Structure 1
């Protein structure tokens, strides 16, 4: 039973974090004190069967998913979007509060800079072509194989130089709102 107990505790914590929920959020939804949930997750309190139903409900899963995670297709099937002329292809699933990885296709004709700022942080890696990155007062040209990392509070804009360009980007939930949902 000890091994099953450890797996359920780990699954409980993983589901909570995957959903971007605090212990307080889940405990309130499950009708228990946050300290109780903390002790359940850490093993300081024995996990009983009567805990499973309210915790599963608080996490929006069936009790069976706490006991054995559902096997899911690992392929990312998010749809591509065109945002300001850039084709954005998600390479990771959307998880609340999580990082997003995207493949970006920049058309050759996107040449008028319109720098914007927003909350967050971004990492960029140029796969093909040349990419112009306007970052605050700097105007940079990134070649294939080059990376850039920056705070998105700094006004920024990206566009292809001398033909189309492709890049990988990693950004947090704030960047997802700007880049993927506009």
Structure 2
């Protein structure tokens, strides 16, 4: 079904959701009941001259009538390997918040401390995660979480002989830095 073919049914849906009759909306919009009925059924071509008064009466935008159908919600982005980590995206690329499952390989040394704009939230799924945050040197175990301002110097790695699996959530600023960093070193 084309986007324009959805305009009529969406008009009807919006009208019914407001509990309004064809007569009430048509009269307030300055058109005949027949014209509105034909618009809703798709028997009359939708024009801006017809849609603007109707959408105003219904309290909706014209964009609401021609929005695309919901996209496939499944995340199908490949995991990447970078500096001993496996980074698997858990959100769509255009998501307002970016979430990743990151597996940190065990290592003897801590990566260099980094700073950047943003915030990060970390939840440990398995293993133990070393989080160096400024002067603090913390070890987070399974089920523990941390939230921090990424302008504080920080670094993370697995502790012990097993990998640490974590869920990391970034706001837009934090994600941009991590994406840029991954791209520049890949």
- Name the structure with the higher strand share: 1
Aligned length: 133
Does structure 2 retain, via aligned residues, the 8 Å contact 1:129–1:143? yes
Structure possessing the higher radius of gyration over alpha carbons: 2
Q: How large is the RMSD of aligned CA atoms in angstroms? A: 2.8
> Which sections of structure 1, spanning at least 5 residues, go unmatched?
8-39, 56-64
Matches within 5 A, 1:1-182: 1=11, 3-4=13-14, 45=56, 52=62, 66-95=65-94, 98-109=96-107, 111-162=109-160, 163-181=162-180, 182=182
Q: Report the Cα distance in structure 2 between the residues aligned to 1:171 and 1:84, rounded to whole angstroms.
A: 19
What TM-score, normalized to structure 1? 0.63
> Which sections of structure 2, spanning at least 5 residues, go unmatched?
1-10, 18-51
Which 4+ stretches in 1 moved above 4 angstroms? none
Does structure 2 retain, via aligned residues, the 8 Å contact 1:132–1:139? yes
Q: Report the Cα distance in structure 2 between the residues aligned to 1:83 and 1:133, rounded to whole angstroms.
A: 18
Q: Report the Cα distance in structure 2 between the residues aligned to 1:76 and 1:144, rounded to whole angstroms.
A: 25
